[in-house]
Amino acid sequence: NCYMGLAQPDTKHTPRPVSKEDSALVDYYWQKANTVRLFSQQRQRYLDSALAITPWRAYFWQQKAMPLSKQMKHDLAKRFLDSAAKYDPHRYMPYRAYTRCIFSRDYREALEDFRLAKTLNGNSGVMDHPYDFFIGLCHLQLDDYDSARYWIKQCIDYKTQQHGPEWAHYLHWCYMGITWYEQDNNDSAIACFDKSLSLNPYLPEAKYYKALCFSRIGQRKEALALLYETDSLLKKGYFINEDNARYEVYPYQLRKFFLERAIDGLEAHE
């Protein structure tokens, strides 16, 4: 049976020596937590039992929060994320920033967390992207397109200078294009989408937003051809292949409904 004490996430606990018996109990609870379903209440109880003994273990707090975030239970996840960030800010301040950007969509809070993360860790990254990329996404979602473009460009420039242009991330170029698209700068947007597609020709979003730019400038036939290509990619299962994209929709991630409407609109003018 699990230890009956509930973990308390709102009190600062100083790490202290743990007896062999308690250490063995913590290991036991962690092992048991990994034998049950990720989203089960039983797993939460095993983690509670481990945290009742070692409440300063930031990783266990993160493990309590993670499945809740993936179930869109953001209010429940929040306090556990706060505890993870409190006990190990170098590791979990960036993680909390990421979840606020992608999961709970608290963009201003995410920006503050990323600023703190940069203070703690320098120009590091989380979930396979530099902090600057997610800072750019936050600004994009706040309609601050110039700032979004500035931060995303930092990522592209760094990779290009360090390793060459082919090492820039296709998603960075796609989102750079979206900032131009939102400001009706179709030529600059198309140039960015072309660079994204040169790095990953199977990215539906780059084709879709490029098609919308073509439609704006009156090249409807070219736009419709691109939308058909986009539809084919979606049917083959291509999508933004990012961490947790199966749980949450990324900013500007293409949805089938929007694609169908765009195709219907252009076909009506044929």
Long-range contacts of 191-195 (CB under 8 A, 24+ apart): 195/168
Q: What is the pLDDT of residues 126-168, one digit of tens each?
A: 999 999 999 999 999 999 999 999 999 999 999 999 999 999 9
- The per-residue pLDDT of the chain, averaged, comes to 94
Looking at residue 246, its pLDDT comes to 84
Query: Which residue spans of the chain are classified as CATH 1.25.40.10?
Result: 169-270
Q: Percent of the chain scored above 70 by pLDDT? A: 95
Looking at residue 11, its pLDDT comes to 52
Looking at residue 269, its pLDDT comes to 81
Determine the Cα–Cα distance for residues 132 and 150; give it in Å rounded to an integer.
9
Looking at residue 15, its pLDDT comes to 81
Task: Check pLDDT > 50 for residue 4.
Answer: no
Task: Check pLDDT > 90 for residue 185.
Answer: yes
Give the closest residue to 173 by CA, choosing from 193, 159, 151, 188. 193
pTM of the entire predicted model: 0.91
Determine the Cα–Cα distance for residues 101 and 55; give it in Å rounded to an integer.
27
Topology of domain 169-270, CATH:
1.25.40
Looking at residue 6, its pLDDT comes to 42
Task: Report the pLDDT averaged over residues 81-110.
Answer: 98
